[in-house]
A and B are shown apart, each in its own frame.
Chain A
């Protein structure tokens, strides 16, 4: 499983609060590229957290990134309410970049 799928799952779940559009692929790409831009020591922390949360937010035996969007939204809301320092940082990173991306015009590079 590629870490991109977990990041995409979080971006879709967080993006819903900003827009009712169906497709957040461009936003997921932006968030993932920004993750790739991080210094490696932050990337390692984020990757470990993403893998951990993918399992910790399982429903039954289905990991977070394969849940239905409605279930993902529910899980993210619960995670926010837990208010844990390290997961808050994780969500702040995703939430800020997702909000920024959703309201930005299409990326010149990704649209050619």
Chain B
């Protein structure tokens, strides 16, 4: 029986970085990935292929509750980093202060985290888009914000704009490619079912019937699968009870001028006038996505096809107070996610939607289609916003989310935390979590930058204290 020093479960940002630093330190490491060995160029971004081959459950699964929220997770080499827009943020000092106070999270002073943030900003070429490449759909949002005197920023991304193709610095392009050069052992299309500890050695059992052994296990399978694996393994304290996501409501706008082009990708401006509670920004607006956005308006079946060059989709995303709960079902790999948005969260979403519509009309929109399941909500002018969007039945609200995290919070507060301040599962020698599950609360922003920062911090701490 071969016993690895370390097994890393999951090759998303958490797992890619964890396995990289472990392997670089000369350790005997195995990486287990549930998805396929696909690279960025193997599918077209935001396409049918990508949905089928790189998304968990094809991207069509939803939370239970009212409204139901479709959510998107990566299931491929590189995980979520392969399918997101590559938007980068640092956590705000206020959020980190809250984590230190409520969760008693140790050693998160700005100076020590700064080193990790700077490392990734350099390694992943986090940079702003050259002005000549910024899409018009992005510029109109900035123009609307300027007219309203609202704060608006161009968000940096982990893109290498000097490269003609494959600009996005995903994990498969960066840390996982380096892992291949380091001869890291990897297995694909194996979904971990359970972890067992026998005589100080961890045994990893998969749904496919395989088993692997190691002294240490790093569970980096994402904010849904990580707690699900832990719960199936009998580890339940503060696990899976505090899953956070960023509920997002969209609105598609029609303008006089052409603002959309083929292959536009995701525009880069965000309006932060109401942050951290609410952020407004640009969404993917290819013809298939515009058609999907308008598919519930039965009198507009070909509207997107006829007008797509003058249309773009935007979003309002909230930092909610509600938490979701992960519920495992015996003998199955897909847990149920129960998520009931509070009335306050619903009110915030509608407030955000109204502000988004106001912004779009200020930017010159002629018509706005909010993602509400009735044509009566379609807006032809700013004057209609208050009358049409003030009282909306929550059943008619169509939401989505792409950011999931916080299901195994880290820190020293035993009432709230599943791990210690560095991701070690309490009372389980050799078992660690090192992915988005650790993030204590919502950032109100894309969490990948902060998740990578903590993944590096935690694995370096492990190497210094236990595995050097």
Residues of B within 8 A of A40 (CB): 332, 334
Residues of B within 8 A of A17 (CB): 298, 301-302
Residues of A within 8 A of B47 (CB): 104-105, 107-108
Indicate the size class of the contact surface on chain B: 20 to 34
Residues of A within 8 A of B287 (CB): 103
Residues of A within 8 A of B298 (CB): 17, 80
B-contact 0/1 string along A6-47, CB 8 Å cutoff: 000000000001100000000000100110011111100000
A-contact 0/1 string along B305-330, CB 8 Å cutoff: 10000000000000000000000010
Chain A contact residues, majority secondary structure? helix
Q: Is the CB of A107 within 8 A of B295?
A: no
Q: A30 CA to B291 CA in the complex, in Å?
A: 16
> Given A93-B60, A97-B60, are A37 and B291 also a contact pair (CB < 8 Å)?
no
Residues of B within 8 A of A103 (CB): 287-288, 290-291, 304-305
Q: Is the CB of A34 within 8 A of B336?
A: no
Residues of A within 8 A of B43 (CB): 108
Q: Is the CB of A30 within 8 A of B48?
A: yes
A68 within 8 A of B: no
Smallest CB–CB gap between A17 and chain B, Å?
4
Q: Is the CB of B305 within 8 A of A96?
A: no
A53 within 8 A of B: no
B-contact 0/1 string along A85-112, CB 8 Å cutoff: 0000000110111111111110111000
- In the complex, which residues 30-51 of chain B have their Cβ closer than 8 Å to any Cβ of chain A? 43-44, 47-49, 51
Number of residue pairs A-B, CB distance < 8 angstroms: 87
- In the complex, which residues 31-71 of chain A have their Cβ closer than 8 Å to any Cβ of chain B? 33-34, 37-42
Q: Is the CB of B301 within 8 A of A18?
A: yes
Smallest CB–CB gap between A86 and chain B, Å?
12
> Given A17-B301, A100-B48, A109-B49, are A37 and B292 also a contact pair (CB < 8 Å)?
no
Q: Which residue of A lies closest to B294 (CB)?
A: A99
Smallest CB–CB gap between B205 and chain A, Å?
20
Q: Is the CB of A34 within 8 A of B49?
A: no
- In the complex, which residues 45-63 of chain B have their Cβ closer than 8 Å to any Cβ of chain A? 47-49, 51-53, 55, 57-58, 60-62
Q: Which 4 pairs across A and B sit closest by C-beta, in order of nearness?
A: A37-B58, A39-B334, A99-B295, A17-B301
- Where the two chains meet, the residues of B that have a C-beta atom closer than 8 Å to any C-beta of A are 43-44, 47-49, 51-53, 55, 57-58, 60-62, 287-292, 294-296, 298, 301-302, 304-305, 329, 332, 334, 336, 373
Known contacts A92-B295, A103-B288; 20 additional CB pairs below 8 A are A30-B52, A33-B58, A34-B52, A37-B58, A37-B60, A38-B57, A38-B61, A39-B61, A39-B332, A41-B329, A42-B62, A92-B296, A95-B296, A96-B292, A99-B288, A100-B288, A105-B48, A107-B47, A107-B48, A107-B52
